[in-house]
Structure 1
């Protein structure tokens, strides 16, 4: 399935009362774009991802994804955007530790039991045993939790994917699998924005944005 969307960012800024994280960020990302966000810890990479995905509101500038400004959405429109347009892979995996892997995947209307073949393929893609489905998340290592978060992102099939340090806890083999997933997503016309320090990912990006 080919995806057709575009992301436009114009003079974006984000400030707290006593500090400006970043300002005057502008870029265009047509279908198929892979954008890498770089910068030291605390430079605001995570905040920028959250603004692009509608979890935070920028204090200046404009964002448009598929002609929608996520900062202006409310109620059902905002829920629909978060459900159908964007997926996150959070740095801390974003999982509920007391739930099983299955419970963490069975959200937003997706049921693993109804999509077993697809789920098995996603587990294989990210090198995780499918038998982990019924394990509680707190029993998994940090790298395994990170891969469950990536599996959840992959199963949602949204046109925009936002990944925050997705290879931080992964070895070379598993980091390569993340790179392959991002490249395949973009090859289908999707857009990926990845906050990363990892040169293994940055070298494949179409655009690299450095936050100071």
Structure 2
């Protein structure tokens, strides 16, 4: 994953937002759940339970629509932060509603001689898959790392990432993709300009 935090990677599940045909990676609720499992946000038993409930197509479609709405709110919030702007209140309100739901579905449990937070997947609605993502966004928004959130500077990308470079100089979500394209574009423009000057 490129973002460095689950909420940023969630925002990056669609790309080319600025283009004529954004690319969606979450086509079904099952896609959302599989993506969440890959990131370790939902444990196996919780995923199985949610998948059983996802057989109700209308409920799964509503949960997916709500996930996409939250994703776009998370994108606008952190894109604003990266640009030094104020995030829209409506997006913060949406995030806070999901955070409130999430907090109502966590508990502290004993694990050996330690204690840990645990999601109550046994009571989770289909939208429960959003809880860890909302928590991730809230934690990042209130952390010292917030100033490290950046948006890829590539012309046709909008992915968000946490810049953990020592001097905070990372410009692209991925060097091998966006960085190489940007460098190739600059090289092409320089050659074209020097050819026109001859």
Higher helix residue share = 2
Query: Which has more radius of gyration?
Result: 2
What TM-score do you get using the length of structure 2 for normalisation?
0.28
Calculate the TM-score normalised by the size of structure 1: 0.27
